[in-house]
Structure 1
Amino acid sequence: MNSEIIAVGSELLLGQIANTNGQFLSQQLAPLGINVYYHTVVGDNKTRLQEAIKQAKKRANLIIITGGLGPTKDDLTKEAVAELLNCSLNYDMPSLQRIEAYFVNSKRTMTENNKKQALVFEEATVLNNDHGMAPGMAICKDGIHYMLLPGPPKELKPMFTTYGQSYLLAHLHEQSIIHSRVLRFFGIGEAKLEEVLIDLIEAQSNPTIAPLAGDGDVTLRLTVKHNEKVEALSLLDELEAKILARVGSFFYGYDDTSLMQELVNRLLTKKIKIATAESLTGGLFSQQLTNYAGVSEVFSSGVVSYSNEMKEKILSVSKNTLAEYGAVSNECAIEMAEGIRRLCKADVGISFTGVAGPNQVEGKGVGTVFIGVALPNGESKAFSLNLSGTRGQIRERSVKYGCYYLLKEL
């Protein structure tokens, strides 16, 4: 099946709400082996909606339309589709009874337009709405499947997973399923990653490789279509092994993980206590670290030491170091990391010092960053970076690099 998702609602076009339904449905359709080639957004206008459906019919045999099933005048989706498909609308009595029961139970008067929500296409498969009023529906006309779903995500998501998915599985023309795996990398750019893997990318067929760039991260989505799960996973394993043989040193995790999540997992697994000394990042590393449940077992304490005076008093950075090398230096970063490790009696200390901008500091340019780590074996290291971007981006990227260096060292 090739599908198109049409989202209905002027509020989407005005930017008042985001089209998260489209994202959700694409994520759900991929494992079913259904290709999503187009997303369309159209306002609450019957003529434009019908034109969008006519266009979709030329390139898809599954059209999913979200929104416009409510009781008001601008909720016109099913009327527009019924007219286009030349099919009548009838009341689905179980749905109508649920709507009536809702108003009785809530002691509210039911207006006549609420009955409209129970209208469905004649001969359609009704998709019950267990979290709202308007049912969804699915129908096949001239070889094209149409599925109508309500707009509110709290109604659409359970309706699709409970009823819509079953309908599609029953009508799939092929039973091959799409399996995906995301490999996450850091410390290598998208262009360099593609250069190293270009022969694999150019030779791809099944599985396929799709590079995706993030803010500092680069991901590869490996996708295979197969009707046997074991064979599909074997094909993914084989391709992954070829990739990691070349760029495994930059690999840090799978799917929806993050560098900080992987660092927290590593600290918890190894029972390593960490303490942080932050100047450049102003506590951002500690803030992100403490977003994760259970981190209190491994996070000792953090100090934001912005001034040189506090670097000396709290972290025991020597006056000679500050005078000779400055606060923005490898030497200061190492002493900050060692100082916080001793102060907090932690296994690991990490420090951040540098220039986030907008002006130079100590003659060092914006984006100059030093990260210090004091390790459980007593060894200390500093890593220097020259980052670009805004003040916020430099700080964010510094935190990511801190996670990356610690993961490699631990």
Structure 2
Amino acid sequence: MAHTVEILSVGTELLLGNIANTDAQMLSQGLSALGLNVYWHTVVGDNPQRAKEAVELARKRADIIITTGGLGPTCDDLTKNVLAEAFGKKLVYDEESLERIKAYGKATGRPLTENNFQQALVPEGCTVLTNDWGSAPGCAFEADGVHVIMLPGPPSECTPMFRYRVVPYLQALSEGVIASHTLKLFGIGESAMEAQLRDQMNAMANPTLAPYAKEGECELRVTAKAPTMEEAQALLLPKVEELKAHFGPLVYGVDVPSLEFVVENLLREKGLTIGTAESCTGGLMAKRFTDVSGASQVFKGGIVSYTNEVKHHVLGVP
């Protein structure tokens, strides 16, 4: 059976744009690596009725629902209540979580009030996901053929909770792996790149090929699904080599973080160093160089020479 996943993010601050939904991005990347298909991202505010409607829709179209947010101590933290009601489960105190919350408050020196303890309420019969990075535990249960997983919203808690608590739970449900390689190109536009590949992209099934436009450059992502990572790579690598040969020097790297990362590695390999004198860029080149760890080995420094006076007297420009 192929599983379908919906990520349901709860929080009015997400709808208002006060914070970015980085949890959903992280979860999608992690679920893809497990071979689980994410079909929907839903964001709902801290409103019981709208949250209930979102859950009812999700359970009709997905057999794995992963929620983020709404597990805290305040009255607008409603995720557990809504999901417990939707699946007919009673909320009960998990004694271990209750003791951990008390110990967490003592260790951090924060006085605890009664509403802090509601974080220890979990759906009856669920698997409690211990939170070693915060106070609110996560939980997981299966009901009516749907797996429900609830995670806290803060990324500093959600990310390790997914990695160390949820991944083992989901690995039993996964049917293979999804792997990808990304080719980075400079010197060609997305439309020109896509025009050269359109016919083969339409004909490809596994692996697949997708173009992306980035600021000043383009990407080609090759993705394959297979029972094992070795089989996925066997599908991917020949296509990666074919694309590198097709685009030649326009491809500046595969699975590399940035153009400046590649440039600095080349400078290091050749024993060269670089300095910058910038005007209209306002120091942007120097910033990009120094954003890379270890830049001091190859980057000597830079001057932002915005006025003619500085260009004449500091740089010696005629």
Aligned pairs for 1:207-356 (under 5 A) are 207-306=207-306
Rate the CA distance shift 1:187–1:83 in 2: closer, same or farther, 3 A: same
Rate the CA distance shift 1:130–1:312 in 2: closer, same or farther, 3 A: closer
Give 3-state SS (helix, strand or coil) of 2:46's partner: coil
Rate the CA distance shift 1:81–1:313 in 2: closer, same or farther, 3 A: closer
Rate the CA distance shift 1:100–1:198 in 2: closer, same or farther, 3 A: same
Counterpart amino acid of residue 165 in structure 1:
V
Q: Which has the larger radius of gyration?
A: 1
User: Residue 184 of structure 2 contacts residue 253 of structure 2 at CA under 8 Å; is this kept in 1?
Assistant: yes
- Alignment equivalent of 2:42, drawn from 40, 43, 46: 40
User: Residue 268 of structure 1 contacts residue 295 of structure 1 at CA under 8 Å; is this kept in 2?
Assistant: no
User: Residue 197 of structure 1 contacts residue 243 of structure 1 at CA under 8 Å; is this kept in 2?
Assistant: no
- Alignment equivalent of 2:116, drawn from 76, 90, 114: 114
Residue by residue over 1:78-101, the C-alpha shift from the partner in whole angstroms, topping out at 9 and shown as x without a partner, is 111111101111111111111122
Rate the CA distance shift 1:69–1:282 in 2: closer, same or farther, 3 A: closer
In 2, distance between residues paired with 1:310 and 1:131? 51
Give 3-state SS (helix, strand or coil) of 2:172's partner: helix
Give 3-state SS (helix, strand or coil) of 1:58's partner: helix
Residue by residue over 1:58-113, the C-alpha shift from the partner in whole angstroms, topping out at 9 and shown as x without a partner, is 22111111111111111111111111101111111111111122334455543222
In 2, distance between residues paired with 1:273 and 1:80? 59
In 1, distance between residues paired with 2:309 and 2:77? 64
Rate the CA distance shift 1:301–1:148 in 2: closer, same or farther, 3 A: closer
Aligned pairs for 1:38-117 (under 5 A) are 38-106=40-108, 109-117=111-119
Residue by residue over 1:276-324, the C-alpha shift from the partner in whole angstroms, topping out at 9 and shown as x without a partner, is 333343432223223333333323343444556765666566x6xxxxx
Tell me the number of residue pairs that the alignment of Structure 1 and Structure 2 aligns. Answer: 316
In 1, distance between residues paired with 2:54 and 2:263? 47
**Comparing 153-162 with 274-283, which one deviates more in the overlay?**
274-283
Q: Which runs of 5+ in 1 are unaligned?
A: 320-410
Aligned pairs for 1:132-281 (under 5 A) are 132-172=134-174, 174=175, 176-281=176-281
Residue by residue over 1:350-400, the C-alpha shift from the partner in whole angstroms, topping out at 9 and shown as x without a partner, is xxxxxxxxxxxxxxxxxxxxxxxxxxxxxxxxxxxxxxxxxxxxxxxxxxx
By relative contact order (CA 8 Å, sep 6+), the higher-ranking structure is 2
Q: What TM-score do the two structures reach when normalised by structure 1?
A: 0.73
Residue by residue over 1:337-356, the C-alpha shift from the partner in whole angstroms, topping out at 9 and shown as x without a partner, is xxxxxxxxxxxxxxxxxxxx
In 2, distance between residues paired with 1:305 and 1:131? 47
Alignment correspondent of 1:6: 8
Rate the CA distance shift 1:86–1:220 in 2: closer, same or farther, 3 A: same
Alignment correspondent of 2:28: 26
Counterpart amino acid of residue 119 in structure 1:
L
**1:119 deviation in Å?**
1.0
In 2, distance between residues paired with 1:301 and 1:119? 56
In 2, distance between residues paired with 1:105 and 1:258? 41
**1:12 deviation in Å?**
1.3
In 2, distance between residues paired with 1:235 and 1:35? 19
Give 3-state SS (helix, strand or coil) of 1:171's partner: coil
Counterpart amino acid of residue 260 in structure 2:
M
Rate the CA distance shift 1:228–1:279 in 2: closer, same or farther, 3 A: same
Rate the CA distance shift 1:43–1:249 in 2: closer, same or farther, 3 A: same
In 2, distance between residues paired with 1:240 and 1:38? 29
Aligned pairs for 1:361-372 (under 5 A) are none
Residue by residue over 1:7-40, the C-alpha shift from the partner in whole angstroms, topping out at 9 and shown as x without a partner, is 1111111222221111111111110011111111
**1:245 deviation in Å?**
1.9
User: Residue 256 of structure 2 contacts residue 262 of structure 2 at CA under 8 Å; is this kept in 1?
Assistant: no
Residue by residue over 1:120-178, the C-alpha shift from the partner in whole angstroms, topping out at 9 and shown as x without a partner, is 11111111111111111111111111111111111111111111111111233x2x100
Rate the CA distance shift 1:14–1:304 in 2: closer, same or farther, 3 A: closer
User: Residue 138 of structure 1 contacts residue 146 of structure 1 at CA under 8 Å; is this kept in 2?
Assistant: yes
In 2, distance between residues paired with 1:65 and 1:54? 13
